[in-house]
Amino acid sequence: MRKLKSFGIIAVALIIISTLLFTGCNYDASSKVTGATLNEKGELVINYADGKTEILDDKSEDSDSVEGTNDIALATSKGLRSSVSIFCEFVDEASAYYSAGSGVILKLDKEKGNAFIVTNYHVVYSSKFEGGISNKINVYLYGSEYADMGVEATYVGGSLYYDIAVLYVEGSDLIKNSCALAADVANSDNVSVGQTAIAIGNAEGLGISASSGIISIDSEYIDMVAPDDKTVVSFRVMRIDTAVNHGNSGGGLFNARGELVGIVNAKIIDENVENIGYAIPSTLAIAVANNIIDNCFEKDCKTAMRCLLGITVGTTSTSMVYNEETGLVSIVETIGVVEVSESGIAHGLIKADDIMVSATLNGVTKKITRQFHVIDLLLGARPGDVLELTVKRGNETVTVSVNITEGCVTPY
């Protein structure tokens, strides 16, 4: 039987986690490794808790040089620096269970040891737990996946409907002394079918690992049951043939330059299906994450807030376009306005049968060549902003200004 499933919850006893995942941790605290960096000579410098350092120079003649390292290895190394494994506890009077997942460092202040981490909502949420959100979340950097090297993270906010959540780490000495970096986010609107797709995550809860494949479909919609186990949600995703498993949820999907192009969130589980996985496109995932940070960080709000214009749009035509410069093909859609609500903020400005041309928000102009461009752009709209929409109306090109108000912003 075919199942389309998100993955993140791995119910295991704590003793199993301690024994299998975090072996070899019984050592003197003063000798604990707090970080590692490369110096200008390319030597590995190990930092210890007591302030001592050790230089490991392993440049044997038969070792691979940087020049001999392939592009995929370099891209993966870059992705590893912004990847974390996530372990959550769900403990109440009735039960105690745990989940394993992955995350990506979105924003980083190395000097202070602070970081915002994006992951999937279903990694930190369980419908079986009274509070919903895990009451203890620990994240682990690559190479530091030992029991006493976990960094406690707090839940900032999340969206059930986008399957995105944001965590926050504050004042971590481990992060300060690490070579971790914030992910270099690519524009997933420019992703092409056949492009390299490297998944980095905590597969099966066994620690951070990497797998490689390609983008199979750059954008499509899949219907899934949300983490509350009752709401059916339509997610916009990229399809990949990269191998992903339980625990990869929330982890990054990177291109051949090590840039983040998606957040892994699901796969098809079927005995007749191999390697059909899905990732939320980076442009959408990061827009939701930034929306959550703006609306939820150090605030009572705990969910994304999206702007509704009060218009319904649809695809009036679609075609394949060949780019002679790159040799690549892409899909281009013509997006028309189907209906305008009388109570919406665009009423009187946008009309039915208008053809969407472009949108400008906060000084950034986006050509509208796919239906999701309109929806994704509005995730960045905040009350007080002005959205400029350019439409084709008959034989005319018209630009209108839409004022974003508190009344048009709703939890999602």
CA distance to 2, 208, 345, per residue, from 269 (Å):
6, 22, 43
Cβ pair 149, 170 in contact under 8 A: no
254 sits in the region (left: phi over 0; alpha: psi -120 to 50; else beta) called: beta
Whether the per-residue pLDDT at 2 is higher than 80: the answer is no
The whole-angstrom distance between residue 353's C-alpha and the CA centroid of its chain comes to 35
> What are the residue ranges spanned by the domains of the chain?
1-57+67-303, 305-411
pLDDT at 65: 42
In this structure, CATH architecture of domain 305-411 = Roll (2.30)
pTM for this one? 0.84
Facing residues of 141 across strands? 84
Cβ–Cβ < 8 Å for 33, 148: no
231 close to 158: Cβ distance less than 8 angstroms: no
Q: Cα torsion at 60, 65, 68, 74 (round to 10°)? A: 130
C-alpha–C-alpha distance, residues 150 and 251, integer Å: 17
Cβ–Cβ under 8 Å, residues 103 and 83: yes
Given a contact cutoff of 8 angstroms between Cβ atoms, the answer to whether 219 and 370 are in contact is yes
Secondary structure (3-state) at 291: helix
- The Cα–Cα gap between 92 and 95 comes to 6
103 within 8 A of 115, measured Cβ to Cβ: no
- Look up the CATH architecture of domain 1-57+67-303: Beta Barrel (2.40)
User: 10-39 burial, b for 16+ CB within 10 Å, e for fewer?
Assistant: beeeeeebeeebbeeeeeeeeebbbbbeee
Beta-strand (E) ranges in 24-113?
A: 33-38, 44-48, 53-56, 83-91, 96-109
Determine the pLDDT at residue 7. Answer: 54
78 CA to centre of own chain: 16
- What per-residue confidence (pLDDT) applies to 156? 98
- Give me the sign of the Cα torsion angle 239, 244, 245, 251: negative
Asked if residue 200 has pLDDT above 60, the reply is: yes
Residue 368 contacts residue 375 (beta carbons within 8 Å): no
Mean pLDDT of 193-219: 96
Mean pLDDT value across the chain:
87
More confident position, 279 or 23: 279
For 233-257, what is the mean pLDDT?
96
Parallel/antiparallel/unpaired status of strands 53-56 and 364-367: unpaired
Q: Is the pLDDT of residue 71 over 70?
A: yes
What is the number of H-type helices and E-type strands within the chain?
Answer: 6, 24
Residue percentage of the chain with pLDDT more than 90:
74
Cβ neighbours around 89 below 10 Å, total: 16
Q: What is the pLDDT of residue 143?
A: 92
> What are the b/e assignments for 144-154, b being 16+ CB within 10 Å?
bbbbebbbebe
What is the C-alpha separation between 110 and 169, in angstroms, rounded? 11
Mean pLDDT of 143-148: 89
Cβ atoms of 276 and 267 within 8 Å: the answer is yes
Mean pLDDT over 8-16 rounds to 35
Instruction: Extract the tokens encoding 189.
Output: 């609107």
Radius of gyration of the chain (CA): 23
Q: What is the pLDDT of residue 274?
A: 81
pLDDT digits (tens, 9 = 90+) for 291-325: 999 999 999 999 999 999 999 999 999 999 999 99
